[in-house]
Amino acid sequence: MGMTIAQKILKAHLVDGEMVQGQEIGLRIDQTLTQDATGTMAYLQFEAMGVDQVKTERSVAYIDHNTLQSGFENADDHKYIGSVAKKHGIYYSKAGNGICHQVHLERFGAPGKTLIGSDSHTPTGGGIGMLAFGAGGLDVAVAMGGGAYYIPMPKMVRVNLTGKLSPWVSAKDVILDVLRQMTVKGGVGKIVEYAGEGVKTLSVPERATITNMGAELGATTSLFPSDEETKKFLEAQGRGDVWVPLSSDPDAVYDEEYTVDLSALEPLAAMPHMPDNVKKVSEIGEIKVNQCCIGSCTNSSYYDMMKVASILKGKTVHPDVSLTISPGSKQVLDMLAQNGALADIIAAGARILECACGPCIGMGQSPESAGVSLRTFNRNFEGRSGTQDAQIYLVSPEVAAASALAGVLTDPRTLGEMPAIEMPAHFVINDNMIIKPSEHPEAVEVVRGPNIKPFPLGHALEASYTGKVVLKTEDNITTDHILPAGAKLLPYRSNVPYYSNYCFINVDPEFPARCREQGGGIIVGGANYGQGSSREHAALVPLYLGVKAVLCKSFARIHKANLVNSGILPLTFADPADYDAVNLLDEISLPHVQEEIRSGRQVTVVCGGRTFHADCEVSDRQRRALLAGGTLNDARQQAQ
C-alpha cells in the first residue's frame, strides 16, 4: 500500500509508537517557533527543564502579538524572551520583523521537515510541504529540549482540487469552501492533504493561506505537495538548497476525500460568528461596512498586498470606512515601498499598521459598537475583535479592498478585468532584525521583569475527588471564550494570577469569583470544547483557579493536550445525554478516579443521586502525567 505525504514525513520522524490510527506516536521535531503571547510560558518551562542549548535544527522566537507597548509589561516580556533566546541557542525575530508564520515561511521553513509552534496557525508551513503543528508551550519546550512531540496517529483526508481559480476568486475562497464542506469540527483527528491538477495552479502564498486556515477545521495539520512551484518560491527566497520534492504515492489510501472545483468557486465570506458559517458574497448582498482590515498570518503576503494595491490604485476609500493594512513581514513592507505599491495604498486613504498580528488578536482596531468589519483573518469568534457586539466577516483581500472603496460588501467581480499579479523572481532579503544566539551563552544573563510570574503546577491525582460544577457551557467554546485576548489583557499572559481574574469573563463574569469561593471545581462543556488558539493559558489559568476536570461532549485536539499537560482531567460523557442532567453548582463526585485513570477504565461520576460514566481517552504516557498532576511533574518523577 502506498503512503500519503504526511505518512512519509511521519515515518521519517517516528521515534516512539506505531503508525496505527488512533494510537499515540512520538515524533522527532526539526524546528520550533514561539510567539510572544505564548512564548514567555514556553521559555519558563524550557528553563525549568535545565537544558543548556536547544536540540532542534532551528528554533525561532518571534515578537508579533504583544507589540503595543502601552506599559512596561510587553517590553519586559520581549527582553526576557530575547535574553533566553540568546542564551539557549534560539534565533530571535524582533518586533516589527513580521508575523511568525509569514516570516518562517519566507526564511526558515523547508519541505519534509517537522515544525511545532506555540500558535495554532503553525500549519501555515504546510504550504511548502512541512508537517507543521500548532501545540501548547510545554510541548514546544519539550521539543526544544530534544524530546518527542506526541499526537494520536491521525486519519488521512484528501482534498482534490480541480480546475483553476477564476478572476477575482482567491485561495481564501478555497479554504472557506472546505470549511463549508467539513465544518469547524470536521478535521479533528485528521491531516488534510491537497492534491489534484488544481494544486499546480496555486502559488506558495496561496497554498499557505489554505493550510493556515486549516486550523479552523480542527485539523491536526494540512499540507501541500512540494513541487516545482515550491522550488521556485524557495529559490526566490535564496533558499533553493532546502527544496526536496514530495508527493503522495499513486496508491495511497485516504480515509476521506473531498473535491473543490476551483473554476466553479466564487467570492465567499464567513459570516458572524464562526469560520464555517460560509455564504456567497453575492448571496449576502450589499450590507453597509464600517471597517475593513487586511493582513494577519492568513492573507498578508507580498502576493496578497500587491492585489490590494492594484485595486486601490488611483481610488479613494469610502468616507464611512476605516481601512487598515498590516503587511505580514518586513520583507513584504520593504518590497511594497520599493516598487511604489505602498504609495498607492497610502494615497487611497488606508491606514498602515505594523508588521504584526494586530487586529486579528484584538490588539487595536476594535470596530465601533455593533460595527460591521470585513477581515482577511482566520477567526471571527464573538468578541475576538475587542468589540463584543461587532459583526465580523472573513473575506479575501479582493473582497475587502473592493468593499472598502464601495462602503458596502462588494463582489470584486464587479470591478472589471482583474490586474495580473506575478510572483517575484527574487524577494528582497534583509534579515537584520533576526538576532542570532550568542556564541558565548555562559555570559548571557536572563532578564525577568516584575510582571513575569511562575507558572502554576498541578498536584498528584488523589484517590477520589468531589467538587461543584463551577461553569456549564454550550458547544464550540473557544480559547477566546476561556481567556480573552486583546490589547488590555495580552500584556498579562506572563502573569497567571492577574490573568485569572478574566477567565471566562465574557461567558460568565462570576466564574473567577465562583472558583475562588468553591475552591475550584469542575467545568461542564458541550462539543468541540477548546477550539481555536493553542494558548495553554486556557488550561494554566483554570488550573490556578482550582479546576480539576473538564467534563464535556468532545474536545479540540490542542486544548485537550494542554489540559493533560497541566494535570486537568479531560473527561467526555460516555453518553452525551448525561450532559443535560448536570447543572451549575451541582456537586459532582469522582469516587474512584485515581484507580480508574490508572487502569484506563471509564470514570465513575456521581451527580445529584445519579451515577453515570465518563471516558478519559488518553495515552499511557498522558495517563501517567495525569496521575502525577501534569507533564512537568511526571518528567521530574521519571528523571528521579
- Return the active site residues: 64-65, 119, 379, 533, 535
CA angle 81/84/87 to nearest 5° reads 150
Q: Strand 190-195's sheet: what is its strand order?
A: 221-223, 190-195, 155-162, 256-261
What whole-number distance in Å separates Cα of residue 493 and Cα of residue 486? Answer: 11
- How many other CB atoms are found less than 10 A from the CB of residue 581? 13
Q: Are residues 236 and 427 in contact, defined by beta-carbon separation less than 8 angstroms?
A: yes
- How many other CB atoms are found less than 10 A from the CB of residue 83? 18
Q: Are residues 61 and 31 in contact, defined by beta-carbon separation less than 8 angstroms?
A: no
What contacts 423, CB < 8 A, 6 or more positions away? 203, 205, 232, 233, 236, 303
Grid cell for residue 93: 525575530
Q: Which amino acid is at 272?
A: P
Grid cell for residue 438: 550568542
**153: DSSP letter:** P
Question: Residue 437: phi, psi to the nearest 5?
Answer: -65, 160
Q: Are residues 623 and 598 in contact, defined by beta-carbon separation less than 8 angstroms?
A: yes
**363: DSSP letter:** S
What contacts 338, CB < 8 A, 6 or more positions away? 428
Q: Are residues 582 and 453 in contact, defined by beta-carbon separation less than 8 angstroms?
A: no
**Coil/strand/helix, residue 183:** coil
From the list 188, 112, 114, the residue with the least C-alpha distance to 154 is 188
What whole-number distance in Å separates Cα of residue 481 and Cα of residue 259? Answer: 33
- How many other CB atoms are found less than 10 A from the CB of residue 63? 26
From the list 640, 630, 638, the residue with the least C-alpha distance to 139 is 630
Q: Which residue has the cell 478516579?
A: 593
What whole-number distance in Å separates Cα of residue 557 and Cα of residue 442? Answer: 38
Grid cell for residue 222: 494540512
From the list 292, 342, 286, the residue with the least C-alpha distance to 318 is 292
What contacts 207, CB < 8 A, 6 or more positions away? 126, 127, 128, 171, 194, 199, 224
H, E, C per residue of 626-637: HHHCCHHHHHHH
Q: How far is CA 424 from CA 196, 237, 306, 319, in A?
A: 25, 10, 11, 34
Grid cell for residue 203: 502559488
Q: Are residues 25 and 189 in contact, defined by beta-carbon separation less than 8 angstroms?
A: no
Peptide bond into 101 cis (omega under 30): no
